[in-house]
Amino acid sequence: MAQQKKKPTIVSVYLTPQGKAKLDKVCADRGMTIKAVLCRLLDCFVALDRTEQAIVLGQVEARHVRTLADLIGRRGPRKTTATAGRGAR
């Protein structure tokens, strides 16, 4: 018996006109759809640990970001589903 495909979850994203214009430019420059870009960004974001997510979300005081980034850099690369199989860029 064939496996039934799951329906995708649809999420609305509200952007400022400036944010939408920037996203459109990235998509055009990369030859990707908005859906593809956002899916990859979300995959990368959820693969981050809590500290990295907090930095990206601006939930870490600016004076601590450099120290945390240095600590994260020292622990070395790690394989995630978001980076597995991709070359260095």
For 6-46, the pLDDT digits (tens) are 888 888 999 999 999 999 999 999 999 999 999 999 999 99
Is the pTM here over 0.95, yes or no? no
* Count of other CB atoms within 10 angstroms of residue 40: 13
Give domain limits for the chain. 17-74
47-74 in b/e burial notation, b at 16+ Cβ within 10 A? bbeeebeebeeeebeeeeeeeeeeeeee
pLDDT at 65: 80
